[in-house]
């Protein structure tokens, strides 16, 4: 990790949370190279459509497309107070032969918005790889623990048994909804193309002397050079900020899924049933050496909150753009888009890291489950006693009374649950302790949890993941 200037503010995403891959996509250098690429695409397409642009000019633009001197750009920006003009001047200075034809007919948003679309596309693809890695890890763990019974909860109160594998499927299903949303976003993403100052393409119509066919062809040529089939059909000066809003809504969805998982992990770690990885020399608390705090899940929860609140930011920006363009989006987007994607990237990295190395304690699950199972077995006990000739209504009341007394003993006196012993001693039931014990097999109470897990992982989940079988994941190692 490079040295950090401790005398100046640094974004936590640059110093602690953001991956190198995502940081690179939102770096000034990458955006500057993409802007130059857009100027090159424009010149190439204009030459192809008949404008007097020479091969030498194109060659010089290509030669300087990757060599960015930020000291030159910074000097121009201090003078001009316009970032795109500073980049344009620096490119023209580096490629003087092409200076006369550079940015011909274009506006600043031609380079910035099209570059941003390419960044959004790559950032969303990177998140898809993160989603795939996490989903695959969840699928593996679901099958591993498909038949490990544990207590299920509603309202965080004991309810009915489930299995760890089935619970993992709940987390996976949410994440696969996010994967579908990412795919839809990428399938429908379009660049701005070449639309001009107010989206009417007037400047390009003048360049091509009124030839609308060539103006339309230029728009298509630019989009295809960017890797798209077509640009947006209509625009003002910018691409619609609904695209940014949709992107951050999608990130919010990922954060919601991950936040649910993180919250569940924190509860399970409190129950001592499932824990996140804990390093050999990791410190849980500065005051209490014995503690194993769920640090990674808590960081996920914190970052998820940040991303979820960011969704409203982009929505407000989309809603407040005036007519064909206003500039109150610019400073906001520099923060909201980059930090939203960096945070989502960090969240998914933590998610996969935790899932891949889950620490599971089956004996604690058994202990917690058996402490509550006698209450959950009461219906089966009732049916067994009725089959032996008992009166269902009378026995129901007797079980209710015994259960209340057993529950009171557990809560008020801290003693074990003795419901079964009370029933065994009640002659109205006609059931021995041995017979009652046979009714306390946890797997008898998990319903279809095992088959549901198998069906989901090998069915719907497998179908959604199959198209990406050749797409590798990313490292889920965390350094802090």
pLDDT in tens, 339-396: 999 999 999 999 999 999 999 999 999 999 998 898 888 888 888 888 888 888 998 8
Weakest mean pLDDT among 262-266, 399-403, 476-480: 476-480
Per-residue model confidence as pLDDT tens digits over 107-157: 999 999 999 999 999 999 999 999 999 999 999 999 999 999 999 999 999
Active-site pick, 285, 401, 432, 475? 285
Which of 118, 101, 113 is closest to 60 using CA atoms?
Answer: 101
Assess whether pLDDT exceeds 50 at residue 233: yes
Assess whether pLDDT exceeds 60 at residue 286: no
Higher pLDDT, residue 284 or 377: 377
> What pLDDT was estimated at residue 277?
86
> What pLDDT was estimated at residue 431?
86
Architecture of domain 108-276+291-360: Up-down Bundle (1.20)
Question: Average pLDDT of 451-462?
Answer: 98
Model confidence at 476, in pLDDT bands (50, 70, 90)?
confident
- Does residue 30 have an active-site annotation? no
Burial class (CB in 10 A: 0-12, 13-18, 19+), 220: middle
Active-site pick, 71, 155, 286, 479? 155
Average pLDDT, the chain: 92
Q: Residue 158 phi/psi, 5° resolution? A: -50, 130
Residue span(s) of the chain under CATH 1.10.275.10 come to: 22-101
Assess whether pLDDT exceeds 80 at residue 284: no
Residue span(s) of the chain under CATH 1.10.40.30 come to: 378-439
Assess whether pLDDT exceeds 90 at residue 105: yes
Assess whether pLDDT exceeds 50 at residue 4: yes
> What pLDDT was estimated at residue 289?
58
> What pLDDT was estimated at residue 1?
47
Assess whether pLDDT exceeds 60 at residue 281: no
> What pLDDT was estimated at residue 279?
65
Model confidence at 235, in pLDDT bands (50, 70, 90)?
very high
- In 164-284, DSSP assigns E strands to 274-275
Question: Average pLDDT of 295-321?
Answer: 94
Assess whether pLDDT exceeds 70 at residue 274: yes
Domain 378-439: assigned CATH number: 1.10.40.30
Sign of CA dihedral 322, 326, 328, 333: positive
Question: What percentage of the chain reaches a pLDDT higher than 90?
Answer: 74
> What pLDDT was estimated at residue 317?
92
For the domain made up of 22-101, the CATH class stated in words is mainly alpha
- Does residue 155 have an active-site annotation? yes
> What pLDDT was estimated at residue 480?
67
Residue span(s) of the chain under CATH 1.20.200.10 come to: 108-276+291-360
Per-residue model confidence as pLDDT tens digits over 29-64: 999 999 999 999 999 999 999 999 999 999 999 999
Model confidence at 270, in pLDDT bands (50, 70, 90)?
very high
């Amino acid at each position: 990790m490079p040295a950090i200037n401790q005398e100046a503010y640094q974004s936590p995403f640059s110093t602690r949370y953001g991956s190198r891959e995502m940081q690179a996509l939102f770096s000034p250098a990458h955006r500057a190279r993409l802007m130059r690429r857009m100027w090159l695409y424009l010149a190439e397409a204009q030459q192809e459509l008949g404008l007097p642009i020479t091969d030498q000019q194109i060659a010089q633009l290509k030669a300087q497309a990757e060599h960015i001197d930020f000291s030159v750009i910074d000097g121009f920006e201090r003078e001009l107070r316009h970032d795109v003009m500073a980049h344009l001047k620096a490119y023209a200075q580096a490629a003087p032969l092409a200076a006369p034809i550079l940015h011909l007919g274009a506006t600043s948003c031609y380079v910035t918005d099209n570059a941003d679309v390419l960044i959004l596309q790559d950032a969303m693809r990177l998140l898809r790889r993160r989603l795939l890695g996490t989903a695959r890890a969840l699928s593996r763990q679901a099958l591993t623990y498909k038949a490990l019974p544990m207590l299920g909860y509603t309202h965080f109160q004991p309810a009915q048994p489930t299995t760890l594998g089935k619970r993992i499927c709940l987390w996976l299903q949410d994440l696969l909804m996010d994967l579908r949303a990412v795919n839809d976003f990428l399938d429908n993403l379009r660049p701005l193309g070449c639309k001009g100052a107010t989206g009417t393409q007037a400047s390009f119509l003048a360049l091509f002397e009124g030839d609308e066919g060539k103006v339309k062809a230029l728009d298509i040529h630019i989009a295809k050079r960017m890797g798209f089939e077509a640009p947006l059909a209509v625009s003002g000066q910018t691409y619609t900020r609904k695209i940014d809003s949709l992107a951050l809504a999608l990130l919010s969805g990922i954060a919601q899924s991950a936040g649910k998982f993180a919250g569940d992990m924190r509860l399970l770690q409190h129950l001592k049933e499932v824990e996140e990885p804990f390093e050999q020399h990791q410190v849980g608390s500065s005051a209490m050496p014995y503690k194993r705090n769920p640090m990674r899940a808590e960081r996920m929860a914190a970052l998820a909150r940040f991303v979820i609140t960011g969704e409203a930011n982009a929505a407000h920006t989309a809603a407040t753009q005036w007519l064909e363009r206003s500039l109150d989006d610019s400073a906001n987007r520099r923060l909201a888009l980059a930090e939203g994607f960096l945070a989502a990237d960090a969240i998914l990295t933590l998610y996969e890291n935790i899932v891949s190395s889950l620490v599971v304690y089956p004996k604690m699950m058994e202990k917690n489950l058996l402490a509550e199972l006698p209450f959950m077995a009461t219906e089966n006990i009732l049916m067994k006693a009725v089959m032996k000739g008992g009166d269902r209504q009378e026995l129901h009341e007797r079980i209710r009374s015994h259960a209340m007394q057993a529950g009171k003993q557990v809560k008020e006196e801290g003693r074990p649950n003795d419901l079964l012993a009370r029933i065994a001693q009640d002659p109205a039931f006609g059931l021995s302790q041995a017979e009652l014990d046979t009714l306390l097999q946890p797997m008898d109470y998990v319903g279809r949890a095992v088959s549901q897990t198998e069906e989901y992982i090998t069915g719907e989940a497998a179908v959604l993941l199959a198209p990406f079988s050749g797409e590798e994941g990313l490292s889920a190692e965390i350094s802090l």
